[in-house]
Chain A
Amino acid sequence: MSSFDFGVISENIPFLWQGLKLSLWLTVLSVIGGIAIGTILALMRLSGMRSVALFAAGYVNLIRSIPLILVIFWFFFLVPLVIGRPIGSFYSALIAFVMFEAAYYSEIIRAGIQSVKKGQIHAGQATGLNYWQVQFYIVLPQAFRNMIPILVTQGIILFQDTSLVFVVSLRDFMTVSSIIARTEGRLAEMYVFAAFIYFVICFSGSLVVRNLQKAQGT
């Protein structure tokens, strides 16, 4: 322990901050995209149209049974092939995370939608609203309000998951930490520091979730 030298961190603050910014950006954009596509998948599964529901269920169950790293490999291989040219690893990673997290978000959102009382839907229909109006003005707003704590929890998990872009060398906080660790020969200091930063961010996030749950009385 005596040979710990945390000077290596203060020398590399700008580089680390760049990595952390990339991790946070990737998280925020993936949460937004994941919730958007997740909502569509959830509505598809609950649409009552057999083929549409089956497609969505198939997609969700497929993605949920394979590891995130394999999904990242898939999209890094597929995206340039489909688009016809490389679009850079940040966008490939973003697409992989959005498509992966959408499957998990859709399960959360589906449960949230089902938790809205049937009477609400009937009341909406009775006042003459059509299917989309019922979904957008009545079901989804109530569903999302109930789901906020779980959605944030999933966001924290997503933030931890972004560290896996390490496998494709995208320079997020984890990759940057490991680059510094190797070039400076300071593995112990850098990985302990990375663990500390992740812990502080994720633990603060979970405290926020606890407060939200208390405010909702659940």
Chain B
Amino acid sequence: MDYNWNWGVLLQDEYLSWLISGVGWTFSVALAAWIIALIIGVLVGVGRTLPFRPLALICTCYVELFRNIPLLVQLFLWYFVLPEVVPESIGRWMKRDMPNPEYITAVVGLGCYTASRVAEQVRAGINSISVGLASAAYANGFSIAQTYRYILLPISFRLIVPPMTSEFLTIFKNSSLALTIGLLELTAQSQQIAEYTFQGFEAFTAATLIYVVIALCATVVAQYLEKRTMIPGFIGKA
């Protein structure tokens, strides 16, 4: 193997600032998309378990549609195709005047995609609760809304904490796809440093370490959360 090591390149002002800005974009895409994913994901996941057939069907379609198209294609649809199919004035605004188009597209695209995965976890959580609990609630005169508010959601949200933390990590990894529409997040910046300096080993190692640190931090927080939210007697059912 013929390679000139130069770890110092990572500490040069220019390249160090690229890395830091990359980390910043990775966090801002992942966290903003996570908020969208949680809101839509919970609504769709709950919708699929409700006893209204048309609503459940719409929610099922949402999940199947967003799960069966690669995220990369979805990002391109949001970025290149959506402005063409909406009314012309909105399309023109999206192409010309929308601030930070790459960032907004990445957040919306990643958020809607992850929402379908969150919805599946929420649905699985609700379905894993024994039917007796809901029946008992209805027998006591609870409405559907009350049954969800006081019985099903509090239990299922605590049951799905472990799979949700793995979704949270996945959204950080998937935020790297934003580079395909020109957002210079962490992976893109490391690739750019590799191209400018020919120090690929150092650049990719830096990015890898940062992702590993993010994963480790998330795992520690997750273990704490899992302990705090564990329901005695429900372990391992979700």
Contact = CB atoms under 8 A, between A and B. Distances in A.
Interface of A: 1, 61-62, 64-70, 73-74, 77, 81-82, 156, 160-161, 163-164, 166-167, 174, 178, 181, 187-188, 191-192, 194-195, 198-199, 202-203, 206
Given A70-B211, A74-B208, 13 more contacts: A65-B212, A66-B208, A67-B172, A67-B173, A67-B174, A69-B179, A70-B190, A73-B187, A74-B204, A156-B68, A163-B72, A192-B77, A203-B68
Contacts of A161: 70
22 contacts: A1-B85, A61-B215, A65-B211, A65-B215, A66-B211, A67-B175, A67-B211, A69-B179, A69-B187, A70-B187, A74-B204, A77-B200, A77-B201, A81-B1, A164-B70, A164-B177, A174-B70, A191-B81, A192-B81, A198-B70, A199-B65, A206-B64
B19 to A, nearest CB: 13
Contacts of A73: 187, 190-191, 194, 200, 204
Interface of chain B, main secondary structure: helix
Chain B: interface size category: 35 or more
Interface of B: 1-3, 64-65, 67-74, 76-77, 80-81, 84-85, 169, 172-177, 179-180, 187, 190-191, 194, 200-201, 204, 207-208, 211-212, 214-216
A188 B68 contact: no
A161 B175 CA distance: 14
